[in-house]
Structure 1
Amino acid sequence: MQPEHLTNLIEKVTSPSDGRKANPRVSEVVGRIVKDLFHTIEDLDVTPEEFWSAMDYLRDVGTNNEFGLLAPGLGFEHLLDLRMDEAEHAAGLDGATPRTIEGPLFVPGAPKSKGEARLDDGSDEEGDFVFMSGRILSTDGTPIEGAVVDVWHANTRGLYSIFDSDQTPYNLRRKIETGSDGRYAFRSILPSGYACPPNGPTQQLLDQLGRHGNRPAHIHIMVEAPDHRTLTTQINLDGDEYLHDDFAFATREELVAVTVLHDDPADIEARGLTAPFYTIDFDFTLNTSSEAVDFDRVDRARVEAQMVAVA
């Protein structure tokens, strides 16, 4: 193809017509995407059949509601985290717990309690009990009062409530508000990792790339606090097969939590249990608010669920 023909076509795509006004930012971004894709088609000699196959693929991703899996699976969500890290560092905001991907399964509106909560509803009999606790701190080590810790994780089958009709609403989802000591605590069950739907379009593409679609076991955390920047992160559980081979690129060394097994009968009795349990101790540190960085909590579409009474 003649270079000038390609250039002219790219310019026409984002040129306003009939005296209409364009959104400058949209024109800039779309123009760059179109330019890069045009050159990809030209440089790699993409055939019409390959192009329309890609269009069909994107349709299937949308139909199956898997863009939330595809984005982290291709590294886009991790890239956005790295860019936010760099922006904070450039603004002199260092020392906070590392962020990592939110993923597609957060649901606002979880029941809220003060100090501590129980996340599981007792229905998952395969789960080992876990007690997780720690403090929410400023970068100077000061405990933060009034921080709200939003926690959510999968069950032992790797499934999340709201998205799994077999679970009660908001099972394994809670908000916990810290007191003056900055502490949070919760009882739950150890989650399992999960994999992309085996017959879905995300795994279809991963198969073509020679990649698996598995995630290690993890617990999502989102922390909001007055005068501090929101932290969206997750901890991974040590010893998981996919700990350092997460298809979503979300593992960060500072976020690997140590799970401690307690099988002493006296410890088990003291917790009011009849079987061994695990504990996790993990503090989260937040950067203070700053006008030097123009983002905090990412504004994105999230699943909404009708609030229900949870005992």
Structure 2
Amino acid sequence: MSKKIVDELIKQIESKQGAVPDERIQAIVNRIVKDLFYTIEEFDVTPSEFWTALNFLGTGANEYGLMAAGLGFERLLDIRMDEAEAKAGLSPNATPRTIEGPLYVAGAPESVGFARLCNDDEIGEPLVMEGQVFADDGVTPLKNALVEVWHANHLGNYSYFDSSQEAFNLRRSIRTDENGRYCFQSVMPLGYSVPPNGATEAVLKTLGRHGTRPAHIHFFVTADGHRKLTTQINIDGDPFLWDDFAFATREGLVPPVSKVTDQAEAAKYQLKGEFSHITFDFVLHADKQDVITTDITRVRAAA
């Protein structure tokens, strides 16, 4: 088929469109349709191939969040946000952002200064992570900032999505104290892979790629007068640290992990033996007009 015939069909489709409530959406959808038409023509996609792909997307709808990360879309959106902030002259000192992923759950229990993310019988090496939240000068501590934290258990599963875990296990919200400090006690997370035999795994295997993530801990950090930070830290030493299928590892987000054996230090956190310790500070951008918002609209779970 000639490009002329494809162009004529596209023109015919667009000529049927009248007044619309959102011209931006109209333009974006028209562009997506046009690009897919050209892809079908260039690769001589058969009807069976087309409907197989469409049916696959339907059956894998519950993994769209994973596929968006695995195919690099979420990372691309972060790159565009970074460039927009740099162009607007925002401070380069802020903590790097990285992807949210699809497993946040709103409503985690809130405390001030300190939180325990799990019970004593949680499987895994005890972990204490602490630090401060600062304004973009890196000096002024932000009192009453909200640090939301969530991570997987030793099997790579997240509470709410895994019914075997208690509600909000390994999820908490911590208000910083008067010195901008936060602290939590949990267990060291492990890396994990996308669901076996799922849609995301099928797509990645087709592309010759793996679906494994390094061990990591997610954060939302918010404070009045500042831009919301979506980020995560990765655990140093993980074999997939710089080979994350979701492209989320960034310089500045791999803090050192130390081993603490002092019993007096353990007792401070109500622990009885050796534990791992991470210190990590968050630095937030100040609010600024006319810069794309960091409060992203997307479907999220709530318990």
TM interval, shorter chain, is over 0.9
Superposition deviation, residue 22 in structure 1 = 5.4
Say which SS state the counterpart of residue 254 (structure 1) adopts.
coil
- Counterpart-to-counterpart distance in 1, 2:228 and 2:87: 18
Matching residue's letter, 1:130: L
Matching of residues 68-87 of structure 1 within 5 Å: 68-87=65-84
Deviates more, 1:114-123 or 1:98-107: 114-123
Counterpart Cα distance in 1 of 2:239 and 2:246 = 14
Which residues in structure 2 correspond to 1:120-269 (within 5 Å)? Answer: 120-124=118-122, 126-140=123-137, 141-269=139-267
Partner amino acid for 1:280? I
Counterpart for residue 8 of structure 2: 8
Instruction: Specify the SS of the correspondent of 1:287.
Output: coil
After TM superposition, the score normalised by the length of structure 1 is: 0.93
Residue 308 (structure 1) aligns with: none
> Quick one: structure 1 residues 27 and 15, their matched pair in 2 at CA, closer, same or farther if it must change by over 3 Å?
farther
Question: Alpha-carbon deviation of 1:20?
Answer: 5.2
Question: Which shows bigger deviation, 253-262 or 44-53?
Answer: 44-53
Question: Structure 1, unaligned stretches of length 5 or more?
Answer: 306-311
Residue of structure 2 in register with 1:35 after alignment: 34
State whether residues 106 and 302 of structure 1, in contact with CA within 8 Å, keep that contact through their aligned partners in structure 2: yes
Q: Specify the SS of the correspondent of 2:210.
A: coil
Other-structure match for 2:87: 90
Paired with 2:214 and 2:129, the residues of 1 have a C-alpha distance of 18
* Matches of 1:85 and 1:294, distance apart in 2: 10
Aligned counterparts of 2:219 and 2:173: Cα–Cα separation in 1: 10
Alpha-carbon distance, 1:296 to partner: 2.2
CA deviations 1:74-110 (Å, max 9, x no partner) are: 0000000000011111100122101000000001111
Tell me whether 1:57 sits opposite 2:56 in the alignment: yes
Quick one: distance in 1 between partners of 2:171 and 2:276?
19
Is residue 14–residue 30 contact of structure 1 (8 Å, CA) maintained in 2? no
* Aligned amino acid, residue 299 of structure 1: T
TM-score w.r.t. structure 2 length? 0.95
Cα distance in structure 1, aligned partners of 2:268 and 2:89: 46
Q: Does 1:109 align with 2:107?
A: yes
How far does the alpha carbon of each residue in 1:251-270 deviate from its partner, in whole angstroms, 9 at most, with x for none? 00110121111124454455
- Against the structure 1 CA distance between its residues 159 and 192, is the aligned structure 2 distance closer, same or farther, given a 3 Å change threshold? same
Q: 1:96 to 1:15 in 2, by over 3 A?
A: farther
- Label 1:274 to 1:137 Cα distance change in 2 as closer, same or farther (>3 A): same
2:12 match: secondary structure: helix
Separation in structure 1 between the aligned mates of residue 20 and residue 179 of structure 2, nearest angstrom: 55
Q: Over aligned residue pairs, what C-alpha RMSD do you find?
A: 1.5
2:291 equivalent in structure 1? 293
Does the residue aligned with 1:66 lie in a helix, a strand or coil?
A: helix
CA contact (8 A) 1:78 1:101 kept: yes
Give the distance between the partners of 1:103 and 1:7, measured in 2 at CA. Answer: 38
Aligned to 2:63: 66
Size of the aligned set, in residue pairs, is 301
Q: State the distance in 2 between where 1:50 and 1:22 align.
A: 34
Q: Deviations over 1:31-63 (max 9, x none)?
A: 11111111111111112221111112111211x
Q: Secondary structure at the match of 1:257?
A: coil
